[in-house]
Amino acid sequence: MRLLSCVFFFLLTGFDTIAQQNYAVGNIPPELMVRASAVIRNDELSIEVKDLNDVVIRVKAAVTVLNKNGDREAHIYVWYNKTRQIKFIKAAVYDEFGLLKGKIAEKEFKDESAASNYSLFEDSRVKKFSPAVTTYPYTLEYEYEVRSKQSLILPEWTPNTTTGVSLENAKLTLICKPDFAIRFKEENYAGKVNVTDTEELKTYTWEVHHLKALRDEPYSPSADTYLPVVRIAPVKFAYQAVNGSFTNWLEYGMWMNEKLLLNRDLVPAETAAYIKELVKDIDDPRLKAKKIYEFVQNKTRYVSVQIGIGGYQPITAAEVDRLGYGDCKGLVNYTKGLLKVVGINSYYTIVEAGSDKKSAITDFASMNQFNHAILCIPFPKDTTWVDCTSKTLPFGYLGDFTDDRIALACTETGGKLIRTPAYPSDASSQIRKANFKLDEKGDLNGEMTTTFDGLQYDNRAELINEPYTEQVKKLQQIYTLNNLEIKSFKLEEDKGRIPVTTERMKFYAREYASLSGDRYFITLNALNRGRSLKEVHNRVNKLDISRGYTDIDEITYTLPDNYKMDGLPENFKMEQPFGQYSIDIQEKGNTLVYTRKLHLKEGVYPPEKYEDLVNFYQRVAEMDESRISMVKRIVNQK
Amino acid sequence: MKKLLICLALSLCFIHVYPADFPYGVVSLEDLNMKVYSKDTSANAVVLQEFGNTRISSGDGTPLMFEYHVRIKIFNASGFNQGNIVIPIYKSDNERYEEVSEIKGSTFFIDHDGMMRETKLDPKMVIRENKDKHHNLVKFAMPDLTNGCVIEYVYTLNSPYRFNFRNWYFQDDIPKVYSEYIAHIPGVYNYNTVLVGGRKLTKNNMELERECFTPGGGVKADCSKITYIMADIPAFVEEDYMTAASNFKSAIRYELSDYVDYRGIKHQITKEWKDVDYDLKKDPYFGNQMRKKELFKTQLPALIAGQPDALIQAKNIYSFCQKWFKWNGFNQIYSVDGLKKAVETHSGSIADINLALISVLNEAGLNADAVLLSTRSNGVVNNLFPILTDFNYVVARLTIADKTYMLDATDPFLPFGLLPIKCINDRGRVISMSKPSYWIDLVASQKESKIYNLALELLPDGKIKGNIIEISLGYEAYNKRKAIKKFNSVEEYVENLDESMPKTKIISNKIVGLDSLDAPLSESYVVEINAYDNLNKGQFAFNPFFMDRKIENPFKLMERNYPVDWGAPSDIRISLICNFPEGFEVISKPEPVALALPAKGGRFTSEITIDGSQFIFQQMTLLNKSIYQPEEYPYLKELFNKMVQVQKTDVIFRKKQ
């Protein structure tokens, strides 16, 4: 991390942004032009807390777009709703030499609903604008002021978040009354906050200067582990007629319980009676909970409902019961209510979902660290987790959407940070056994059985519950065997304690082998091919393999009698700290047993290890491509 | 349950030859117990019954009233999206807008006690979203969906836009058992009606309704009540490489032809082309704009001064317009705020930019017309009578001597005379200021073509060194330029290319023609490939098909229902010369292949010849047509199959004994 800090920022303390900036492109330091399609010239975010229910947010920014790719940085996007009003927005465009080309008034901004996809959304709207400039470079300068009636959620300061963009100057200012206490957390921030006090006001300032443009590097750690972020949270706050205070996760959880969750999990009597009846013959509490989870999966569906306290409060269990749908919060709260009916305690848990494993910051409690709700059921020896938005996942299975990260469980005694289960690479396997019979025309009759577990359990999610014809179509995309014709196919899910999906199929592929003269070519591995990775010269980021896997393919080939092997490929094995790969080929008469094993291990490695990973996968891709060639036996005419 | 049976009994009394709307809420146990739709076992949901009714109300403002009623069987969770309903509606301003009212919905299902239950849609849970300036969305989610449930809902849509009589879409992504539409058209209104898609109506009937339209002022008109019924409509399944689904989905579309107002005066709306021509020429946002002069008063002289060659003048003007304007993403045939505004702001719709181009070309004394067309995703235009709303795009057609050039200045990467593939869609209508309009076929003026020239040398240490030259032409050059410009610089592009081939090192590169859009784009690279660890093994295989390689056949369906439409023909040629070390010999090589599609539709040839310690590989893939009909599909599929086959064979070298 120390190394990264040196590369990324040179903090010039004491340097103050000049009020009237000259946007001439010539003024941009040369090192900020490297790999950049846009340069953030200036980005000032100022938060002024005038009162608990009166917060003014001001943004003043300018971005220079160097070429067409940088256009995406020249978007102004400001959202608002009933409790967050836009006071003004204005913008101006400057040319390469920093000369004013035109001003943009608020009425030229597009005004749209902020809802996307299918969402029962109430009132969030957005004003947006992107300039039409065809001569590069140009600079877009903009300024706006937003007035928010709450002080619970203050904006996060992330001066540079995307690749291909460098940054000249950025500044965060928080202005408040001296009695408005805050907590703040700086990450990857090399400087020190500057605090000034007067009798009326207290001012906190953070600044960064000269951040070079980043490259997109595959297998990088999550960006917030190396980019500067400053988070601010109030000690006391007002939020839509709810006042409150918290300074740590424990208190946060208490506040959630009291203000957002209390009594919302009451289930209608009829449903409660039904649930009791449903599980009355089950003794094991875990199996009871499983039954109830499956009831919820069957009864409800996920619909995004952004209603209620700013999208933080679940709709009541009674509502979900009546409607048969809800968002993640509503469904978790409903399931929790149902479990309570039969005396099973569970925790409403919030988490940052997504393939990046983002954990709650353990020593800094704030609202905007989560985007999803799941349910934690603390059985004495066996804490179980469920995602109530899925209609298909097994009880106790989270998958890669919320695995292996710190989440906040709202327990009866307050908030508690708990890590969700991880799926280690050796338990995330795909194991296949196949029999391939080839005839002398090169046609293939095959059958195979594949099991998937751990993180790979879900590999066939797109096929589950699909009609047979649809499954067949998708299988042709999954298995890139030329002329693949599925003869039969069956998918079974074992939703037991260790969930396993089993796929069985029989198939035919015309001209699987290529015939050329008296030769017969077969690609040995047509089912599971590795793909080569892109190199990254002068890589900066660490190599982060956040999830690994284990694949074992064993294919038994029965070959046509009238051909003989023209030399057998050698067995192969390679080993790296992050994984192993091996190919084993055994010949027995006219059969050939091909076994391929690939194991990628999760872990964080120094940046230079990435090159080894590239070479590793390159080798895998080559070996997976390899063919054997056979020649026709010379038949002695009798 | 008892109540339901009574409803059913009552409704029986009213059944006549063409029943109107089916009764609400009368769901049979048979429907609820249905496990799978027998006519399409792959369906996740099926429309059991669907009814629509449109009339022009006699009420205030004579709005168009559309009633919709549907009952859908949902088999499994993949069909649950049928229960999330979004009705998009249009608004002009606070006075003229569409409205949805009388929404009623129910979900029917068998509960855990085996009883049939109904959950009603809560009217409070209907969301009206103000999407943007011209669009509102009415959204609701049906309650209590379970596998096997039946949902039913009705709503009424009121629209002030009675010129746009409500179209009816018979075919959708899920199958339908029965779909019925009734249009009540007052005799004073006359619509052109088109039945789209290949399917036939099961029933079509017309009755007279006396004095059904009485908008006041003593006007009384009879209506034609037209009933359209289609039964057993299969789900529409989209295939790869096809144009707009709307070209193939069964639907009824209307276009107002004329109407008689309360004073008895007839207004012609859809006209003959000669009338359309006249209107377009005079339209303030079309013809008037096209005729605008002096849009680029200061710049134009410099573009044509001292240049006697009309073609060069035209090219200068074209590339000037490409650079001046940025397309704002809107497809339109009319200018939005006029060309003056577009010129000032450097920004405009398709119409703004291309009408400006036409205006400037004509002002320079050249001869340019407008061509109205419909993009591939927008569907094909009606050939029988002019329906202007079918068109969504306008380009320029320039004539110099006896040659014509199609121009679209909205894309900075298009060379002069090449239309983007999205515009290559059936026919376009040429609108000239001086002549009657006429149809032209929209065909690609260039191919998508690529030439690879490789001169390589395999060295005894297992490395391959040499030159790779790639020449891209036509659409391929256009695509390649766009790909290169995605990077901040050519260096970054080459770096990325180098990085994406871990075993290959690009020693030097030369890219010519990146900014000369009319010229071919040529890339040449000096490379070093770490092909083999060493050549000490007695035998090794070399696959010459590493350029433009096809690992799998893109065509997987057994048969096709719709044409394969690529927009442009393609032509890919590869020539590779490789020297290999003395002391090695080729013991096996892919056999020469020559395959052709019927009727000169295409060709694939591949041949390797050995000459001493050199091998020469030549391959050619020609697809001569833009569109292949479903009957040509099996040949096309087999051609690709053979290509994949051939590319799996290797050249095998052996150390000479």
Cβ of B127 within 8 Å of Cβ of A532? The answer is: no
Is A637 part of any domain? Answer: no
What pLDDT is attached to residue A310?
59
pLDDT value of residue A635 = 65
Contact A134 B556 (CB under 8 A): no
Crossing angle of the two packed helices B490-499 and B475-485, in degrees rounded to 10: 90
Q: CB distance from B134 to chain A under 8 Å?
A: no
Shared domain check, B410 and B366? yes
Distance from A36 to chain B by nearest Cα, in Å?
7
Give the model's confidence band at B8: pLDDT under 50 very low, under 70 low, under 90 confident, else very high: very low
Query: What pLDDT is stored for residue B12 in this prediction?
Result: 36
From chain B, pick out residues whose CB is under 8 angstroms from the CB of A623.
none
Tell me whether residues A467 and B44 touch, CB distance under 8 A: yes
Look at the block and give the residue holding tokens 């993949």.
B78
Asked whether residue B473 falls in the same domain as residue B434, the answer is no
DSSP result, A239-291? ETTEEEE-SSHHHHHHHIIIIIITTTTPPPHHHHHHHHHHHTT---HHHHHHH
The tokens for A301 are 């569906």
- Residues A17, A130: one domain? yes
Taking an 8 Å cut-off on Cβ atoms, the answer to whether B42 and A67 are in contact is no
Do A157 and A48 belong to one domain? yes
In a domain, B630, yes or no: yes
Kind of pairing, strands A591-600 and A579-588?
A: antiparallel
Same domain, A591 and A456: yes
In A52-164, beta strands by DSSP E: 54-65, 76-80, 84-94, 100-104, 110-113, 119-121, 125-129, 138-148
Q: Which residues in chain A touch residue B649, judged by CB atoms under 8 angstroms apart?
A: 514, 516, 519, 521
Contact assignment for A484 to B502 by CB distance below 8 Å: no
Same-domain check for residues B43 and B145: yes
Question: Considering the domain boundaries, does residue B267 fall inside one?
Answer: no
pLDDT exceeds 90 at position A311: no
pLDDT one-digit tens code per residue, B21-63? 899 999 999 999 999 999 998 899 999 999 999 988 887 777 8
Report the b/e string of A162-172 with b at 16+ CB within 10 A.
Answer: bebbbbbbbbb
pLDDT beyond 80 at B473 = yes
Whole-number pLDDT of residue A307: 60
Q: Average pLDDT in the A425-453 region?
A: 95
Contact B488 A164 (CB under 8 A): yes
**Domain check: are B421 and B369 in the same one?**
yes
Residue A238 belongs to a domain: no
Domain of A41, CATH number, reads 2.60.40.3140
Same domain, B221 and B96: yes
Of A50-54, A121-125, A147-151, least confident by mean pLDDT is A121-125
Contacting residues of A for B77, CB less than 8 Å apart: 301, 391-392, 465
Return the pLDDT at B57: 84
Among B426, B438, B442, residue whose Cα is nearest residue B277: B438
Residues of chain B contacting A133 with CB distance shorter than 8 Å: 326, 346
SS3 content of chain A, % helix, strand, coil (to 5): 20, 40, 40
In chain B, which residues have their Cβ closer than 8 Å to the Cβ of A614?
Answer: 502
Verify that A407 and A433 share a domain, yes or no. no
A315 by Cβ neighbours in 10 Å (0-12 / 13-18 / 19+) ranks as buried
From the list A112, A476, A511, which residue is nearest B556 (CB)? A476
Q: Which of B22, B88, B94, B100 is nearest to B63 (CA)?
A: B100
List CB contacts (< 8 A) between B499 and chain A. Answer: 534-537
For the ranges A178-187, A428-437, B158-167, B380-389, the lowest mean pLDDT is seen at: B380-389
Give yes or no for B37 touching A (CB within 8 A). no
Confidence of residue A477 (pLDDT cuts 50, 70, 90): confident
Please determine, for residue A1, whether its predicted confidence score (pLDDT) is greater than 50.
no
Q: Quick check: is A133 in a domain?
A: yes
Q: Are residues B425 and B497 in the same domain?
A: no
Q: Which residues of A touch B541 (CB under 8 A)?
A: 627, 629
**B258 & B300 share domain:** no
Give the H or E element holding residue B279. helix B273-282
A470 vs B contacts (CB less than 8 Å): 42
A413 and A429 together in one domain = no
Per residue in A348-370, pLDDT tens? 999 999 999 999 999 999 988 99
Contact: B488, A468; criterion CB under 8 Å: no
The answer to whether residue B76 is domain-embedded is: yes
Same domain for B69 and B24: yes
What are the tokens at A134? 């065809």
Interior angle at CA B376, CA B320 and CA B237, nearest 5:
155
Q: Name residues whose C-beta falls within 8 Å of residue A71's C-beta, 6 or more positions apart in sequence.
A: A65, A130
Structure tokens at A276: 């009791």
Based on the fold, state whether residues A307 and A443 are members of the same structural domain.
no
Q: Tell whether A203 and A252 lie within a shared domain.
A: no
The pLDDT value given to residue A10? 32
Q: How confident is the model at residue A313 (pLDDT cuts 50, 70, 90)?
A: confident
Helix axes A285-299, A328-341, angle to 10 degrees: 140
Opening angle at CA B478, ends B474 and B482, nearest 5: 165
Using CB atoms, which residue from A68, A467, A482 is nearest to B644? A482
In B, which residues are within 8 Å of A627 by CB distance? Answer: 541, 648, 650
By Cβ distance, the residue of B86, B141, B503 closest to A303 is: B141
- Residue contact B500–A534, C-beta within 8 A: yes
B75: nearest Cα among B151, B17, B176, B149: B149
Average pLDDT score, chain B: 88
**Domain end position, chosen among A419, A442, A461:** A419
Identify the band that residue A306 occupies on the pLDDT scale cut at 50, 70 and 90: low
Q: Do B76 and A465 touch (CB under 8 A)?
A: yes
Is residue B172 a part of any domain in this protein?
A: yes
Distance CA(B409)–CA(B397), nearest Å, equals: 12
Judge: A69–B487 Cβ closer than 8 Å, yes or no: yes
CATH code where residue B394 lies = 3.10.620.30
- Please check whether residues A262 and A358 belong to one and the same domain: yes
Among chain B residues, CA nearest to A303 = B141
* Among the listed residues B334, B126, B371, B472, the one whose alpha carbon sits nearest the alpha carbon of residue A122: B126
Is B44 inside any structural domain? yes
Cβ distance A112 to B131 less than 8 Å, yes or no, reads: yes
* Boundaries of domain holding A260: 246-419
Q: How confident is the model at residue A15 (pLDDT cuts 50, 70, 90)?
A: very low
CATH assignment at residue B215? 2.60.40.3140
Instruction: Identify the pLDDT of residue A308.
Output: 56
Name the domain boundary from A210, A233, A256: A233
Residue B500 neighbours by CB under 8 Å, 6+ apart: A534, A535
Which of A12, A67, A611, A508 is CA-nearest to residue B488? Answer: A67
Q: Which residue of A has its CA nearest to B137?
A: A113
CA distance B336 to chain A (A): 15
Out of B441, B474, B491, a domain closes at B441
Residues A625 and A583 reside in one and the same domain:
yes
Determine the pLDDT at residue B6: 36
Q: pLDDT at position A32, please?
A: 94
Taking CA atoms, A417 is separated from A282, A362, A376, A407, B608, in Å, by 31, 7, 11, 6, 66
Q: Is residue B268 part of a domain?
A: no
Domain boundary among B411, B441, B471: B441
At which residue do the structure tokens 């609108």 appear? B431
Instruction: Report B:481-520 residues touching A (Cβ under 8 A).
Output: 485-488, 492, 495-496, 498-500, 502-503
**Number of folded domains in chain B?**
3
Domain count for chain A, please give it.
3
Distance in Å, alpha carbon of B411 to nearest chain A alpha carbon:
11
Q: Is the CB of B645 inside 8 Å of chain A's CB atoms?
A: yes
Residue B6: Cβ-neighbour burial (10 angstroms; 0-12, 13-18, 19+): exposed
User: Taking the CA atoms of chain B, what radius of gyration do you get in angstroms?
Assistant: 31
Closest CA of chain B from A252, distance in Å: 31
- Return residues 352-411 of B near A (CB < 8 Å): none
- Please check whether residue A638 lies inside any domain of the structure: no
Closest by Cβ to B552, choosing from A67, A480, A532: A480
Task: Say yes or no for a CB contact (<8 Å) between B502 and A67.
Answer: no
pLDDT tops 80 at residue A6 = no
Please indicate, yes or no, whether residues A337 and A393 belong to a single structural domain of this protein. Answer: yes
CATH number assigned to the domain comprising residue B562: 2.60.120.1130
Instruction: Choose the final residue of a domain: B232, B262, B292.
Output: B262
Q: Is residue A239 part of a domain?
A: no
With CB atoms and an 8 Å threshold, state whether B125 touches A120: yes
Question: Beta-carbon neighbour count of residue B97 at 10 Å?
Answer: 16
Q: Are residues A405 and A471 in the same domain?
A: no
> Which CATH number belongs to the domain containing residue A383 in this structure?
3.10.620.30
Interface of B with A in 564-593 (CB under 8 A): 588-591
Structure token pair of residue B111:
């509960």
Query: CA dihedral defined by A532, A534, A540, A542, rounded to 10 degrees?
Result: -20
Choose from A555-569, B296-310, B469-483, B584-598 the range with maximum mean pLDDT: B469-483
The DSSP call for residue B97 is: B
Are A521 and B77 an interchain contact pair (Cβ–Cβ within 8 Å)?
Answer: no
B residues 320..349 contacting A (CB < 8 A): 323-326, 328, 345-347
Cis peptide before A137 (omega within 30 of 0): yes
Hey, is the C-beta of B107 within 8 angstroms of any chain A C-beta?
A: yes
Owning domain of residue B208:
2-262
pLDDT digits (tens, 9 = 90+) for B498-547: 998 888 999 999 999 999 999 999 999 999 998 887 777 778 888 888 77
What's A527's domain CATH number?
A: 2.60.120.1130
B137 in contact with A, Cβ within 8 Å: yes
User: For chain B, what percent of residues have pLDDT higher than 70?
Assistant: 97
Pair B501, B413 in one domain: no
Taking CB atoms and an 8 Å cutoff, what residues of chain B touch A629?
541, 588, 650, 652
Considering only CB atoms, B141 lies closest to which of A122, A325, A537, namely: A325
**What average pLDDT does this structure show over A411-439?**
95
Strands A304-306 and A119-121: parallel
So what's the pLDDT on residue B7?
36
Q: What CA–CA distance (Å, rounded) separates B567 from B448?
A: 10
Structural contact between residues A303 and A118, judged by C-beta atoms closer than 8 angstroms: yes
B129/A113 Cβ within 8 A: yes
> Over the stretch B122-148, which tens digit does the pLDDT of each residue have?
998 898 888 888 888 999 999 999 999
Q: Are residues B428 and B338 in the same domain?
A: yes
Looking at the structure, tell me whether residues B430 and B375 fall in a common domain: yes
Q: Where a domain ends, among A180, A206, A233? A: A233
CA distance A467 to chain B (A): 5
For B290-344, give the secondary structure using H, E and C: HCCCCCCCCCHHHHHCCCCCHHHHHHHHHHHHHHHCEECCCCCCCCCCCHHHHHH
* Cβ–Cβ gap B499/A537 under 8 Å: yes
Chain A residue at shortest CA distance from B505: A535
B496 assigned to some structural domain: yes
Both B425 and B461 in one domain: the answer is no
pTM, two decimal places: 0.85
Q: A122: pLDDT confidence band, cut at 50, 70 and 90?
A: low
Q: Do B132 and A473 count as a contact with CB atoms less than 8 A apart?
A: no
Phi, psi (rounded to 5 degrees) for A82: -60, -35
Q: Is residue A240 part of a domain?
A: no
Q: Which residue of A39, A82, A113, A331 is the best one to mutate when testing the B interface, meaning the one whose CB has the most B CBs within 10 A?
A: A113
Number of CB pairs < 8 Å for A and B?
Answer: 156
Indicate whether A570 belongs to any domain: yes
pLDDT, tens digit (0-9, with 9 covering 90-100), for A35-48:
999 999 999 999 99
